[in-house]
Structure 1
Amino acid sequence: MAKGKNYKAFTGLDEFYYQTEGSDINAVTDPERIKYLQEISVSKDQEIEKAYGDNQVAEMAVTNGTVEVEAGFHKLPLEDRTKLFGLEKSEDGIVAVGNDTPPYVAVMFAKTMEGGAREYVGLKKGLFTFPEDEGNTKEDSVEFGSSSATAEFMEDDIEGFDEPKTMLLGHDEKGSTKSRDAIWAAIFGEPKGDDTP
């Protein structure tokens, strides 16, 4: 077995943060947390293209697309939906859904392990789309609802890398925050403060 590698499986999710970017390049919000992340899937769109000759494969190349994120929460509060989907809010506090243009969003979350280690995932520039709105009537037993959101992330310039990147990954052992802090700064453009929830 190779030394230094961690083969422990992920058993949980935590620390889902997002930051929205306004139409004005300087109108960037502070990172905000959405609690009670239940599930998340991250998939990179890739295809292998083949060139043929002499009745065989002569060459192969990989085409890259966006990274898709599907996240499920215990509940996605209306305040967060308003920001993520670029919805308009009236003076009376009513949120309206129309043909709204969502803002660019940066996202970071942690996959946790039983021993306290964490793997962080950061995505710098993407768009969320408005999800289906579903509900069920209450029956004899209580069934909790959930909320979901889907986004696609594109490549963007990230300090420390020569070429644009879509996603950053980092691992911290229990008690360490080195990777977390580096990804936070790269994704959100500022150091993580001690007072950040």
Structure 2
Amino acid sequence: MADTVKSGITNSPFVGVTNFHVAKLTEDASGGTPKYDASVAIPWVRQVQVKPKNNSATLYADNMSVATSNVMSEYELTIETATMPLEYKALLLGHKIDAGKLTVSKEDVAPYFAVMFESTKQNGKKRFVRFTKVQFTEPDETSKTKEENVSFNTPTMTATAIYRTADGASLEQADEEAENYVETTGTNWYTLTTV
């Protein structure tokens, strides 16, 4: 049963993002137990943007709206990193890497992952975020000549988070400032062989 929500709850504002991890989804059968490989930390993430994709409809009768319905179909993620090592690119997109050379083939299929990270707050507390089933797309990369003023060329990847087949879960969050927060939730956030 859900907790009764109190009035006047406040939290510290968000100021950063850290501890970006992915874990490959290996089993996701309907009604079964989802399983993942061990999580992999991807450092130097600069920004994670989350956009819910909502579909809505309004029913009209007697010359007015009488009902409305909203369905959240998926989340669109945009991840900006300081760098994108070829090893991570191969992992996320299902490409082959051998002896430092990445090869993109038409048969490559990007696997599904859990995506996890922490939004850090001004007061030092954290909000833990986990998307349970995410597929990445090829990153946008810009190569630009060096000019008088230094400008870093940072890659950006987009991904789509959908509902997990096993249980219909898509997004999980935990907050150190939430009432009744359990510390072990954050401690074990990146360990999800079975979730």
Which TM-score bucket, shorter chain as reference?
Answer: 0.7 to 0.9
- Give 1:183 deviation, angstroms: 4.0
Specify the alignment match of 1:140 in structure 2: 148
Aligned to 1:67: 75
1:33 aligns with 2:41: yes
Percent identity over the alignment is 21
- 1:54-102 CA distances to partner (integer Å, 9 max, x unpaired)? 1111211112211111111111211111100111124x33111232210
Structure 1 equivalent of residue 18 of structure 2: 14
| Distance (Å, rounded) in 2 between the aligned partners of 1:177 and 1:136 | 45
CA distance in 2, matches of 1:109, 1:153: 14
Shift of 1:142: 2.1
Superimposed CA distance per residue, residues 145-186 of structure 1 (whole angstroms, 9 cap, x where no aligned partner): 21211111111267xxxx52210011125xx8433235434x
Distance (whole Å) between structure 2 residues aligned to residue 95 and residue 80 of structure 1: 11
Contact 2:83–2:155, Cα closer than 8 Å, also in 1: yes
Q: CA deviation at 1:130?
A: 0.7
Q: Distance in 2 between matches of 1:114 and 1:125?
A: 29
Aligned partner of 1:195 in structure 2 is none
Q: What is the distance in 1 between the residues matched to 2:147 and 2:66?
A: 61
Q: Which amino acid aligns with 1:93?
A: G
CA contact (8 A) 2:18 2:119 kept: yes
**Aligned amino acid, residue 15 of structure 1:** N
Aligned to 1:178: 184
Q: Partner of 1:94 in structure 2?
A: 101
Whole-angstrom distance in 2 between the partners of 1:29 and 1:135: 33
Deviates most, 71-80 or 93-102: 93-102
Q: Which runs of 5+ in 1 are unaligned?
A: 192-197
Let me know the Cα RMSD of the aligned residues.
2.8
Tell me which amino acid in the other structure corresponds to 1:96.
Answer: T
The structure 2 residue matched to 1:55, chosen from 63, 67, 73, is 63
Is residue 168 of structure 2 the alignment partner of residue 168 of structure 1?
Answer: no
Distance 1:114 1:63 in 2: 33
SS in 2 for 1:84: helix
CA distance in 2, matches of 1:2, 1:177: 24
Distance 1:107 1:48, change over 3 A: same
User: What stretches of structure 2 of length at least 5 have no aligned partner?
Assistant: 1-5
- State the distance in 1 between where 2:176 and 2:44 align: 21
Pair 1:126 & 2:134 matched: yes
Per-residue CA deviation, residues 2-24 of structure 1 (Å, 9 max, x unaligned), is 56x3431101110000012459x
* Runs ≥4 residues deviating over 6 A: none
**Distance across 2 between alignment mates of 1:27 and 1:80:** 21
**1:12 partner letter:** G
Q: State the alpha-carbon separation in 2 of the partners of residues 28 and 157 from structure 1.
A: 14
1:184 is paired with a residue whose SS is coil
